[in-house]
Amino acid sequence: MDKRKTALVTGGSRGIGRAVCVRLAQAGMNVVFNYCQGKKAAEETVELCLKEHVNAVAVQADVRCAEDCQRLVKEAQAAGGGFIDVLVNNAGITRDNLIIKMSDKEFDDVLDVNLIGYFYMMREVSKIMLRQKSGKIINISSVVGVIGNAGQVNYAASKAGVIGMTKSLARELASRKITVNAIAPGMIETDMTDAVTESARERMLAAIPFQTMGKPEDIANAAAFLAGEESGYITGQVICVDGGMAI
Ligand code: NAP
């Protein structure tokens, strides 16, 4: 039987999620991840993981849907021989607008994916990790959830909410030595930040003490640390990987 650990990553088809899948594969873990719309991109992530000589499975699932999350978790559990060792909640979206222009839909859409989707995944995976008395949950939040950002009240609410859920679940699961931590990325080069206007980009770059954007691999390295044995006594924490933005 394959004794490798199994990691479940949401939003593994692109960006930070893909980098996390590949990094965990490099650490020797089998990877199950979901994509929502990007089937072809998901297949590329599978190929990249397979090069690391682990198993990799892509599952179509929309994290806004509780049944999809249940199915995704079941597939990961089956791939892991009954176990899920690591959950990385990463799938996320932005719908930026100033509050006076922000529609109910723009607010709700972001909360549905970034907050409720994380909740569905943590609820299902916690049941398994409690039974197995081990596991590591890593939630990708954002520096925006720590320090806020004009034009992103919806996104900031979701990402600050993720930090609250992380700390609360860390307390709930601590007696079983299950760790729950968050990573708060700063401005990272992905499709998400490609979409911001040039003026917003310049404003954000000016706010980064390092004066450069981060790479998906910077976040993936932090995730690999939190998913590994060396972080076993760390729980309920938020690690900012942001070139100093939140100082
Ligand atoms: P990205 O490149 O836009 O990728 C988003 C990923 O989420 C894709 O894999 C996408 O899947 C998936 N996804 C979107 N909606 C989904 C849904 N309803 N159900 C399931 N999957 C869904 O984003 P990113 O920049 O890598 O961001 C990843 C995470 O890091 C997000 O939580 C984001 O908020 C956070 N973050 C990013 C930055 C940054 O600067 N980039 C900074 C701070 C925090 P498909 O493509 O298959 O649809």
| Overall pTM > 0.95 | yes
pLDDT for 10 equals 99
Q: What is the rounded CA–CA span in Å between residue 32 and residue 226? A: 18
Ligand 1 probe mutation, 8, 9, 14, 108, most atoms within 8 A of CB = 14
93 alpha carbon – ligand 1 mean position (Å): 6
pLDDT digits (tens, 9 = 90+) for 61-117: 999 999 999 999 999 999 999 999 999 999 999 999 999 999 999 999 999 999 999
Ligand 1: lining residues by beta carbon, under 6 Å: 10-11, 13-17, 34-38, 62-64, 90-93, 113, 140, 142, 185, 187-188, 190-193
pLDDT digits (tens, 9 = 90+) for 137-167: 999 999 999 999 999 999 999 999 999 999 9
Contact 151, 196 (CB under 8 A): no
pLDDT for 195 equals 85
pLDDT for 1 equals 43
pLDDT for 201 equals 86
pLDDT for 206 equals 94
Asked if residue 243 has pLDDT above 60, the reply is: yes
Closest CA to 91 of 5, 161, 13, 196: 13
Cα distances from 187 to residues 149, 150, 172, 203, in angstroms, run 12, 15, 31, 11
Q: Chain-wide mean pLDDT for the chain?
A: 97
Give residue 2's pLDDT band: very low, low, confident or very high (50, 70, 90). Answer: low
Contact 223, 15 (CB under 8 A): no
* Residue 120: active-site member: no
95 alpha carbon – ligand 1 mean position (Å): 12
Percent of the chain with pLDDT over 90: 95
